[in-house]
Amino acid sequence: MTANSICNSVSPKPAVSTKGESHLSIATIPGDGTGPEVTAEALKVLDAVAKIDGISFHVETLDWGGDRYLRTGEIIPAGGLDLLRSKDAIFLGAIGHPEVAPGVLEKGLLLELRFKLDQYINLRPVKLLPGVETPLAGRGPADIDFVIVRENTEDLYCGVGGFLKKDTPDEVAVQQAIYTRKGCERCVRWAFEYTRKRNSPRKTLTLVAKTNVLTFGHDLWWRTFQDVAKEYPDVKTDYNHVDACCMWMVKNPDAYDVIVTTNMFGDIITDLGGILQGGMGVAAGANLNPDQGGVSMFEPMGGSAPKYTGLNQINPIAAINAMAMLLEHTGHAQSGARIDRAVAHVTGTAMKSQAAGKMGHGTREVGDLVLAAINAEQARLQKV
Ligand code: IPM
Ligand code: MN
């Protein structure tokens, strides 16, 4: 397997897993298009906070993605999943290659990792940062701050289905949505826990589904939600049909605290959420396996943006936000929060736009600005 690594600690990575200690062992998959450029900025920022907070880390870079697939025909090399299982976290830049048919890398890499590593939570914060433009007229950061918890292993994504009489006028295509009590319950319970911990003034978990039409699968979700809710009397509950949710997200985004939803609906409403918070330049997400020994993957939500490749024009903020999430979910909340503050400072004071090519800076320069904000804050604190 082709791999190289960077490391801020003098000793090589110990053979035994260091899970649970302050050493962080990360695999990065920079991937295709602009993925490597944004990954580089996220790693730069990791290095800065690691220095301040005394975290030693080791990064192993994996060349998985479109180019490797075109060269070798292989998407995840033999032993690849076990390699990832030995890490504390995975950082994914972007996948999607103009010369690879749609679906091949999405299913073969991204969905494969989510499923095989049982990353059953897809966590996508929708937070409008200072200085960032939202398409919602008259709305600001105080109005747009909620979180979508998307189930990440079931539903229409399970890949069950087939064709009958393919390529004939009588063709039939079947694409099954699968929902299990276990898959639903673990996601719903995690969302309740998360809402409790987030402890916002609203402290409300909203189930988003389509119980009026999907009277089997979403009935299971509805009943599970009601059952689990009994364990969380301190968390208020609400329900929206997904179509109505799309309206409310635009009309009253301030009414939401945490949303829990199915995989397919979650895919759709998180793009809507992404644009409310300023677009793919800033939106980040985490694919979490919160179980003991589970390994989670963090990624900017946007794609590989081939037309911007190598131009130093893509916005690295989403990737930097994903790195903050990585730190938060691997027990380094303080370092994650440092990045959050620095990013808010940079978006609020130094960027013209969050769109690629319009930021007023290049990709590397935005990374440098975040770095400078982290170090400036630390210098201020040390003076006090
Ligand atoms: C996302 C993406 C993926 C999804 C695609 C690339 C398979 O849209 O992470 O939201 O549908 O989950
Ligand atoms: Mn999507």
Per-residue pLDDT in tens (0 to 9) along the chain, 384 residues: 334 556 565 333 443 334 444 799 999 999 999 999 999 999 999 999 999 999 999 999 999 999 999 999 999 999 999 999 999 999 999 999 999 999 999 999 999 999 999 999 999 999 999 999 999 999 999 999 999 999 999 999 999 999 999 999 999 999 999 999 999 999 999 999 999 999 999 999 999 999 999 999 999 999 999 999 999 999 999 999 999 999 999 999 999 999 999 999 999 999 999 999 999 999 999 999 999 999 999 999 999 999 999 999 999 999 999 999 999 999 999 999 999 999 999 999 999 999 999 999 999 999 999 999 999 999 999 998
Dist. CA 309–CA 305, nearest whole Å:
7
Q: Which CATH number fits domain 134-277: 2.40.128.130, 1.20.140.10, 3.40.50.720, 3.40.718.10?
A: 3.40.718.10
Closest CA to 89 of 376, 274, 325, 302: 325
Q: Which of 75, 95, 100, 106 to mutate to test the pocket of ligand 1 (most atoms within 8 A of CB)?
A: 106
DSSP string, 16-50: S--TTSSEEEEEEEEESTTHHHHHHHHHHHHHHHH
Take residue 293 and report the two structure tokens written for it: 């020994």
Q: How far is CA 1 from CA 70, 72, 76, 109, 206, in A?
A: 15, 11, 10, 16, 44
Contact 352, 313 (CB under 8 A): no
Dist. CA 162–CA 172, nearest whole Å:
8
Q: What is the pLDDT of residues 188-228, one digit of tens each?
A: 999 999 999 999 999 999 999 999 999 999 999 999 999 99
Q: In sequence order, which ranges of the chain are alpha helices (DSSP H)?
A: 35-53, 66-72, 80-85, 104-105, 112-116, 181-198, 217-229, 242-251, 263-276, 317-329, 333-349, 363-383
Could you say which architecture CATH assigns to the domain 1-120+282-384? 3-Layer(aba) Sandwich (3.40)
Contact 41, 319 (CB under 8 A): yes
pLDDT for residue 16: 38
Residue type, 281: G
List the beta bridge partners of residue 284. 300
Tokens 């998985």 appear where? Answer: 64
Distance in Å, CA 137 to ligand 1 centroid: 28
Distance in Å, CA 341 to ligand 2 centroid: 26
List, edge to edge, every strand of the sheet that includes 56-62.
Answer: 3-7, 56-62, 23-31, 89-94, 296-300, 284-288, 121-127, 145-151, 258-261, 204-209, 236-241
Atom 7, ligand 1: residue with shortest CA distance? 106
Name every protein residue with a CB atom under 6 angstroms from any ligand 1 atom. Answer: 106, 110-111, 267
Cβ-based neighbour number of residue 246 at 10 Å: 16
pLDDT for residue 384: 80
Atom 8, ligand 1: residue with shortest CA distance? 267
What phi, psi does 145 have (nearest 5°)?
Answer: -160, 80
Identify the DSSP state of 85: H
Q: Which of 109, 111, 150 to mutate to test the pocket of ligand 1 (most atoms within 8 A of CB)?
A: 111
pLDDT for residue 88: 98
Dist. CA 216–CA 303, nearest whole Å:
33
Distance in Å, CA 115 to ligand 1 centroid: 13
pLDDT for residue 15: 34
Any idea which ligand is nearest the CA of 301? 1
| Ligand 1 atom closest to Cα of residue 96 | 6
Q: What angle do CA 184, 186, 188 make, to 5 degrees?
A: 65
Residue limits of CATH 3.40.718.10 in the chain: 1-120+282-384, 134-277
Residue 374: strand, helix, or coil: helix
Residue type, 220: L
| Ligand 1 atom closest to Cα of residue 110 | 7
pLDDT for residue 22: 75
Distance in Å, CA 264 to ligand 2 centroid: 9
Dist. CA 210–CA 215, nearest whole Å:
8
Q: What is the pLDDT of residues 266-294, one digit of tens each?
A: 999 999 999 999 999 999 999 999 999 99
| Ligand 1 atom closest to Cα of residue 301 | 9
Contact 253, 139 (CB under 8 A): yes
Cβ-based neighbour number of residue 316 at 10 Å: 29
| Ligand 1 atom closest to Cα of residue 95 | 6
Dist. CA 247–CA 125, nearest whole Å:
18
Reported residue count of the chain is 384
Distance in Å, CA 270 to ligand 2 centroid: 7
